[in-house]
Amino acid sequence: MLAVTVVVVGIMGLGLLAGGAWLAALGGSIYYLIAGIMLLLTSWLLARRRAEALWIYAALLAGTMAWAIWEAGLDFWSLAPRGDVLAPLGVWLLLPFIARRLAPSMRTARWALGLVLIVAVVVLGVSLTRDRHDIAGTMPEIETTGAIASSEPTRPDAGENWTAYGGSGFGTRFSSLSQITKDNVKDLKLAWEFRTGDHKGPDDPDEITNQATPLKVGDLLYTCSPHQIVFALEAATGKLRWKFDPQVQHNKAFQHMTCRGVSYHATRPGAVTADGAPAPNDCAGRIFVPTNDGRMFALDAQSGVPCQSFGNQGQIDLKQGSEIQTLGFYEGTSPPLVTDKVLIVGGAVIDNYSDRVPSGVIRGFDIYSGRLIWAFDAGNSDPNEMPSASHHFTAGSPNSWSISAVDEKLGLVYVPLGSSSPDIWGGGRSRENERYDSALIALDVSTGKLRWSFQNVHHDLWDMDMPSQPSLVDLRSDGGVTPAIYIPAKTGDIFVLDRRDGRQLVPAPEKPVPQGAAKGDRLSPTQPFSELSFRPSGMLTDAQMWGSTMFDQLACRIKFKRLRYEGPFTPPSEQGTLVFPGDFGMFEWGGIAVDPQRQIAIANPQSIPFVSRLVPRGKDNPAAPNAAHPPGTELGVQPMYGAPYGVDLGIFLSPLGIPCLAPPWGNIAAIDLKTHKVVWQHRIGTIRDQAPLPLPFKLGVPMLGGPIVTAGGIIFITGTMDDYIRAFDVRDGRQLWQDRLPAGGQSTPMTYEAGGKQYVVTVDGGHGSFGTKLGDYVRAYALP
């Protein structure tokens, strides 16, 4: 065994010596170079059976411990990879079948090494008791109900019903139900389960997901599956009432195959159309569902039969008006926004494939007839220009693939936009063409005219779309009530504006950002930085690079030093640029939840860097479409036809496939809306379903899907990479309950009341590219 140990220690030393020399040459830490030399010396001394080997190794272990604490502090998960190979090896060297083969004078050396190992155990034990990323705090007690009611008499909260994606058009994901509380949430049990039967087929893209948040109206629950099949279930039992299949074809060329939900509209007595005519008699309640092949259906809410008065026998073609109508290039992935008379529709346009792609135009249709009333084409000098025989909507103009919010009292719809196509090179964009890129636009519901806009990123080259449904809340203060809008961004910023005019309520000053654009491109000299943000305040360093061992951590440090990185908004480059926050986003389509009673917001930010490398045209990256680069993915080499470069996009991973940035990668946090300060923040999620062994280590993992919050003081969330639904106490973020899910819960849950009982429902379909288990489950929980 000694001979084997000599060889293993020698190989380790050679690896650290070579890698450490490379890292030192790049300007990184010299620790690995020194560690490699000391391991080689240890190996040589072991081969000669000299007790000094243990002294050298004890010195290496003690030095490693001191260096690790200096670099990472007493944070267990940052310390672990720095010592998880060396410490066990130290124990191995003390075992009798190794130690007895050394010179007799080794007793003191054994005691020295043993003492260092004991100190290391104590240090790790102490580090387990603290988390430098954790914020421990408690929200103040709720105000009196009377004061709340008098200040916000018309607030559209969800309660018995959940009638829109975000609970209501305000997008708060708040429910006024309070049957489930911190005292009884632990007793939640599965009440019913429904299987949709919609599974991934051989001709589906990898990016197949079910991200739906169901609706509940009356006695029915409405949801959809990845191929946009709509299901109406009995809310109390989960039994199928009806289903509608739009017959979306399975096609690998589609970049997505997903459904985030459906929308609902009820015809009021005496209702009229946008033209002033009496509303039709059919479909007193309507369910709207967009499809991945670019259609919109209106269905009778009670029967699932298409509404014959809407469009062409219940459907309209959303590809109309665009010159490019390639199947799968324009996809309806998110539910449209419903108002009294107007159906407001956006859609997803294929990312980074070409500059010749469909328009991302936002459109308003008559909610009854499906007639186009208005358009807002963000890439057009006249955004409201309607299509005609001589005019098409602007190819590749900014699209809205996410969910909008509405304040019907103000008559405004708030639409989050992405960037012009292609995303990562903007040399071909005019300043007029991109003035609304990655912006939040406030449009008049009736006319589509712009009231105001706010751009979250200027000349966006990082795919920093506005990803989330904004949340509307009336902020209370001694001076009265201010109608606000909270806009989560991929950058980690939350922009807080007056929703009447776009005036900043939380400062977001312009700050200088790195320069040096790729050839033919340009950069904005400044970008807005909100003072309410989860973006790390400092620059990343190689000390924050991570791995499961010191060896892949070293590889991550070398990768980091080889990339271009000068902080947020470092421009794309042929060298390869570290993008952090990555274009996965600190916030995604799940958004935040806002409790308007307690005046708090619940956020679940995540931290995953990306690498963006511009690829010049050549044999492996041709200038024109070919079979080698079909559409259908958002990772790997993206062709960006029409630009002088393609782009290679990927998550910043170690050779073992784990993030190179130290955890946490996901947190849950509460924000006091009176002070706009984070009151508490904790890691959320384990690596149980991603690690080779089912280890329940709570590192804090990435998420897709957002939280909801209830008047009962409970937060529910399911989006983590481990398959759980969890409940937290809104006051301090303490986890109160969890239950194992049969598949990935990459969706946002919802809650409603039926038969006097409060239910919490989650859609668990998994996520293809996210790597969670696929399924076809709709599950409801309730108290016994």
If we measure between CA atoms, which residue out of 284, 297, 281, 292 comes closest to residue 243? 297
Residues 139 and 121: their CA atoms lie apart, in Å, by 36
Residues 378 and 400: their CA atoms lie apart, in Å, by 10
Distances (CA, A) of 265 to 289, 332, 363: 12, 18, 17
Beta-carbon contacts of 21 under 8 Å, excluding residues fewer than 6 positions away, are: 33, 36
Q: What value, to the nearest 5°, has the Cα angle with vertex 29 and ends 25 and 32?
A: 90
Pairing of strands 735-740, 593-595: unpaired
- CA 170 vs. chain centroid, Å, equals 20
**H/E segment holding residue 495:** strand 494-498
Bridge partners (DSSP) of residue 737 are 727
Residues 460 and 465: their CA atoms lie apart, in Å, by 8
Half-sphere exposure of 24 (CA within 13 A, CB side): 13
DSSP 281: S
Count of beta carbons in the 10 Å neighbourhood of residue 356: 15
Residues 429 and 595: their CA atoms lie apart, in Å, by 40
| 506-513: long-range pairs with CB below 8 Å, 24+ | 506/530, 506/531, 506/532, 506/676, 507/531, 513/567, 513/568, 513/569
Q: Is 96 helix (H, G, I), strand (E, B) or coil?
A: helix
Answer yes or no: are the C-beta atoms of 438 and 429 closer than 8 Å.
no
Q: What are phi and psi of 671, to 5 degrees?
A: -120, 130
If we measure between CA atoms, which residue out of 551, 578, 576 comes closest to residue 565? 578
Q: What value does the CA radius of gyration of the chain take, rounded to a whole number of Å?
A: 28
Length of the chain: 784
Q: What value, to the nearest 5°, has the Cα angle with vertex 115 and ends 112 and 119?
A: 140
Half-sphere exposure of 600 (CA within 13 A, CB side): 29
Answer yes or no: are the C-beta atoms of 246 and 213 closer than 8 Å.
no
Between helix 52-72 and helix 86-94 the angle, nearest 10°, is: 160
If we measure between CA atoms, which residue out of 331, 335, 409, 346 comes closest to residue 167? 335
463 noted as active-site residue: yes
Torsion angle, alpha carbons of 176, 183, 235, 685, to 10 = 90
Q: What are phi and psi of 493, to 5 degrees?
A: -75, 150
Task: Give the 3-state secondary structure of 586-621.
Answer: CCCCCCCEEECCCCEEEECCECCCEEEEEEECECCE
Give Dmax (Cα) for the chain.
102
Considering the candidates 300, 463, 521, 729, report the single residue annotated as catalytic: 463
Q: Hey, which residues are catalytic here? A: 463
